């Protein structure tokens, strides 16, 4: 058997590459995430494939035919040996790390702490595996500090940017995360709390939730901001065209579960409407999100080509590891934190330091 590595943004895509090349005669050896030199996190899937099939698909039928005396071509032998050596090195590397975890109480204790606080084993193993043989794995405080630094390095921030051109921001997210309140906070911030007053309009696409239109309209009346309720894509496009002289247009959408196909398709229609404007799509995600819900939320909303994550309900939890884990796994920038119910005061531009201070406090308690 020969081993070959396929790389893609997610394990399924990498595995699909292998199937496309070799058919179903492949066996998965390993699958892991790796951060490359360009700082992008990708998935590596190593598959095992029969040697003859590997030679045929990689080099063609004529290049490596066996000789009549059944002796292998020298080049084929060399490639086979290289493949086997790579596989042995992978096994040795994994074995060394496994042994170190078992023998080194520092690694075991620190990893267990970060796992309890919500950081995934896959991400931790990727980092800890690279520290084999260093002094970092001999000191708990030092190793924990190093992991915090790695988290800080991996997190991304989308800086607040209100330029001279019209900015259209759509907020999407699961039911009950506080999209409407967050919209109101953003509107008040842009209209009254920035370096100058920006001209803001609110578009409401949420015709499902009882009272949703009235709630946003109430905020708009208090702030004396334009508010328009939208029911169809054409109406959406027409209103965007009439609001060209505004600085910011904030678009509220219906909350939906990851399984609500009807609402999801309708939201996609609005996002993909052929408007001549750049529209940012921002996922509003609760800081209290459960680990089990993360994958469903991302799979559902990632199809909307997300620009950033706005974290709501920051004040409703003291445990931020699960949220950090989401940001690490899905590599999305954060733009704002909603830290309470007060409009407009309880909204902050996203900050690594602010989030990590809360996470470190939770880790210290552990």
Cβ–Cβ under 8 Å, residues 183 and 250: yes
Domains of the chain, by residue range, sit at 2-95, 104-154, 159-353
Cα–Cα separations (whole angstroms), residue 151 to 98, 103, 106, 160, 335: 23, 25, 19, 22, 17
Q: Is 337 helix (H, G, I), strand (E, B) or coil?
A: strand
346 cis-preceded (ω within 30 degrees of 0): no
The residues that bridge with 286 in the sheet, in sequence order, are: 312
Handedness of CA 243, 246, 247, 250 (dihedral sign): negative
Per-residue pLDDT tens over the stretch 111-133: 999 998 888 888 898 888 888 77
Mean pLDDT of 202-218: 74
Confidence of residue 216 (pLDDT cuts 50, 70, 90): confident
CATH topology for the 159-353 domain: Rossmann fold (3.40.50)
Cβ–Cβ under 8 Å, residues 44 and 31: yes
Q: Between helices 321-330 and 291-301, what is the axis angle to 10°?
A: 30
The residues that bridge with 204 in the sheet, in sequence order, are: 229, 252
How far apart CA 82 and CA 80 sit, in angstroms, is 5
Pick the closest to residue 283 from 341, 334, 208, 237 (CA basis): 334
Please state which of the ranges 62-66, 73-77, 120-124, 312-316 shows the lowest mean pLDDT: 62-66
pLDDT score recorded for residue 248: 94
Cβ–Cβ under 8 Å, residues 186 and 282: no
pLDDT score recorded for residue 69: 45
pLDDT of 189 above 60: yes
How far apart CA 294 and CA 26 sit, in angstroms, is 30
Q: What percent of the chain has pLDDT over 90?
A: 24
How far apart CA 178 and CA 312 sit, in angstroms, is 7
pLDDT score recorded for residue 68: 45
pLDDT score recorded for residue 1: 76
The whole-model pTM stands at 0.67
User: Which DSSP state fits 136?
Assistant: G
Average confidence score pLDDT of the chain: 81
Pick the closest to residue 251 from 204, 185, 298, 208 (CA basis): 204
Neighbour count for residue 160 (Cβ, 10 Å): 12
How far apart CA 209 and CA 225 sit, in angstroms, is 22
Phi then psi for 291, rounded to 5 degrees? -55, -40
Per-residue pLDDT tens over the stretch 233-279: 888 888 888 899 999 999 998 766 655 555 555 666 676 666 667 78
**Largest distance between two CA atoms of the chain:** 90
Mind giving me the DSSP string for 255-319? ---TT-HHHHHHHHHHHTS--SS-EEEEEEEETT--HHHHHHHHHHHGGG---EEEEE-GGG-S-
How far apart CA 324 and CA 327 sit, in angstroms, is 5
Strands, E, within 173-273: which ranges? Answer: 200-204, 226-229, 248-252
């Amino acid at each position: 058997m020969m081993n070959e590595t396929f790389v893609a943004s997610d394990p399924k895509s990498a595995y699909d590459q292998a199937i496309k090349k070799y058919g179903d005669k492949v066996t998965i050896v390993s699958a892991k995430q790796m951060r490359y030199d360009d700082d992008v996190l990708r998935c590596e899937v190593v598959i095992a494939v029969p040697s003859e099939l590997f030679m045929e698909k990689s080099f063609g039928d004529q290049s490596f035919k066996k000789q009549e005396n059944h002796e292998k071509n020298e080049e084929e032998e060399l490639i086979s040996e290289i493949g086997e050596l790579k596989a042995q090195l992978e096994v040795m590397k994994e074995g060394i790390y496994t042994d170190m975890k078992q023998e080194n109480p520092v690694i075991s204790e620190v990893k267990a702490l970060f796992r309890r606080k919500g950081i995934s084993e896959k991400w931790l193993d990727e980092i800890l595996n690279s520290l084999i043989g260093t002094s970092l794995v001999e000191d708990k405080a030092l190793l924990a500090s190093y992991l915090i630094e790695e988290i800080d390095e991996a997190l991304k921030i989308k800086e607040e940017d209100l330029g001279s051109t019209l900015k259209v921001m759509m907020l999407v997210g699961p039911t009950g995360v506080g999209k409407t309140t967050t919209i109101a906070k953003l509107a008040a911030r842009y209209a009254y709390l920035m370096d100058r007053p920006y001209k803001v309009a609110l578009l409401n696409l949420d015709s499902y939730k009882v009272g949703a239109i009235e709630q946003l309209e109430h905020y708009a009346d208090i702030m004396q901001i334009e508010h328009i309720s939208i029911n169809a894509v054409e109406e959406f496009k027409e209103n965007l065209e009439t609001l060209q002289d505004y600085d910011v247009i904030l678009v509220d959408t219906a909350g939906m579960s990851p399984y609500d196909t009807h609402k999801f398709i309708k939201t996609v229609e609005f996002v993909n409407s052929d408007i001549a404007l750049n529209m940012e799509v921002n996922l509003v995600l609760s800081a209290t999100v459960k680990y089990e819900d993360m994958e469903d939320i991302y799979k559902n909303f990632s199809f909307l080509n997300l620009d950033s994550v706005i974290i709501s309900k920051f004040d409703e939890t003291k445990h931020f590891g699960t949220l950090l884990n989401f940001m690490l796994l899905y590599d999305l920038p954060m733009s704002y934190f909603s830290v309470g119910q007060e409009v407009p005061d309880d909204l902050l531009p996203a900050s690594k330091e602010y989030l990590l201070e809360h996470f470190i406090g939770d880790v210290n308690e552990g």
